[in-house]
Amino acid sequence: MPASVPPLRVLVAGGGVAAIETVLALHALAGDRVAIELLAPGDEYVERPFSVRSPFSGEAEPRVTLEGLVALGVVHHHGALAAVEAERREVRTTNGGRLGYDRLVVAPGAHAIDGVPGSVTFRGPISSGLVEGAIRRAEHSLVFVAPAEAGWILPLYELALMTAHEFPDGPDIRIVTHEPRPLDVFGPIASDAVARLLERAGIEFIGRARAVEYVGNALVIGEGDVIVADAVVSLPRLTGPRIEGMPADANGFIPINANARVVGMSHVFAAGDATTEPIKQGGLATQQADAAAEMIAAEAGAVLIPRPYRRILRGVVLTGERPLYLRRDLDEAQEIIRPLRGVPPGVSRTQLWWPEGKIAGRYLTSFVASGGHLGAPLSDRPAVP
Ligand SMILES: Cc1cc2nc3c(=O)[nH]c(=O)nc-3n(C[C@H](O)[C@H](O)[C@H](O)COP(=O)(O)OP(=O)(O)OC[C@H]3O[C@@H](n4cnc5c(N)ncnc54)[C@H](O)[C@@H]3O)c2cc1C
């Protein structure tokens, strides 16, 4: 880059999956063509998916300090985004500060609110004690519920399977969900594999069901049907962050295009659970972040052709025994010809991507696996030694 061209000033707001992936991707793709600043409240990245183990093992979820990003030259502003003033290319922070930008990436996640009134809501790390209590309270029957507006349903299956594994003589376990089949989003072959896991564990699957509330010891379903349960654990409903100065749909989520650019805002991008993408999953959040980073890197002068966001779902189901790995290309039109084209399988008892991680991101997974350092990008094939 000629010395006279100043770097593009990129401000990333958020401290979770999408924000960290954006920072790492920008660093890898644009180098010193960009000056990266991070506006995040905390000093750590918390890997929430492993919190499903906490009610059983008491194990804390992995955390990675953001120091590794600072070592790359990223400036970390402690705080939170309050408003975007697009015409001035400035943001306001919740403590009254102002920060300018050339490009802004907004990744504050979603808000989790109770999904089924009366039940115990599993929100991740902070809920492990409550969930443990509910499981222990359930002498005869325990129900795990996914409301229709839950973001990512896989953790519910993990909680049910691990409960069955930990307490083989424990309560009857049911999963109540709006899905037609178990983890339907991964396609029929993977769904069948999950159904077999549930069957073997003695867990009853009740699909196409809308749980309304849990009162007394009754879980009320749809048109007044009732399931008797000693305890009910549910996933939360997610709502969008509604940031002043940014567009939002009726639920507060930010609309973006295929390159993660916010609709109607030429210098602003958004990624992750905060966007209108209906599947709120960490892997998809990183893929949106990568699309935003590629576009910004190109606008900063890096030689690359920015690709639109392509949704490849990768999921690990923790069971208490060997995990189940699932993979599905949601934007692949003809899944039937996958094996012929050497595309990796969609369901396996062995690892399907490297390095291993519950959240599969091109740069984030190795950053987390190495405790906050740069590593090899995610691959669907093992590294050749
Ligand atoms: C229990 C559980 C298990 C899960 N399991 C999996 C899994 O196995 N695989 C998978 O891919 N996904 C999984 N998910 C989903 C995944 O965690 C989310 O989709 C992902 O974290 C979304 O990333 P994000 O960056 O949009 O939001 P988050 O990761 O929620 O990060 C948002 C960040 O922004 C910060 N923030 C909030 N407001 C502001 C603001 N105004 N300004 C600046 N910063 C702000 C927050 O402090 C936080 O650091 C799981 C989720 C849960 C709860």
Q: For the segment 162-199, what is each residue's pLDDT rounded down to a tens digit?
A: 999 999 999 999 999 999 999 999 999 999 999 999 99
From 152, 239, 254, the mutation candidate for ligand 1 (largest count of ligand atoms within 8 A of CB) is 152
Classify strands 172-177 and 141-146 as parallel, antiparallel or unpaired.
parallel
Q: Tell whether ligand 1 has an atom less than 6 A from the beta carbon of residue 107.
A: yes
Residue in 61, 19, 17 with CA at minimum distance from that of residue 37: 19
CATH number for the region 112-236 comes to 3.50.50.60
Both tokens assigned to 86: 């697009």
Q: For the segment 12-35, what is each residue's pLDDT rounded down to a tens digit?
A: 999 999 999 999 999 999 999 999
Domain spans in the chain, listed from the N-terminal domain onward:
8-110+240-299, 112-236, 312-369
CATH number for the region 8-110+240-299 comes to 3.50.50.60
> Beta-carbon neighbour count of residue 196 at 10 Å?
12
Strands in 211-215's sheet, in edge-to-edge order, are 211-215, 218-221, 225-228
- Residue 311 phi/psi, 5-degree rounding, is -95, 105
Percent with pLDDT over 90 in the chain: 88
Q: Do domains 8-110+240-299 and 112-236 have the same CATH topology?
A: yes
Report pLDDT for 332. 78
Task: For helices 17-30 and 282-299, give the axis angle rounded to 10 degrees.
Answer: 30
CA of 131 to the centre of ligand 1 (A): 20
DSSP for 7-72?
PEEEEEE-SSHHHHHHHHHHHHHHGGGEEEEEEES-SEEE-GGGGGGHHHH-PPPPEEETHHHHHT
Q: Tell whether ligand 1 has an atom less than 6 A from the beta carbon of residue 236.
A: no
Report pLDDT for 223. 78
From 11, 17, 309, the mutation candidate for ligand 1 (largest count of ligand atoms within 8 A of CB) is 17
Q: Which atom of ligand 1 is nearest to the CA of 51?
A: 1
Mean pLDDT, to the nearest integer, of 83-104?
A: 98
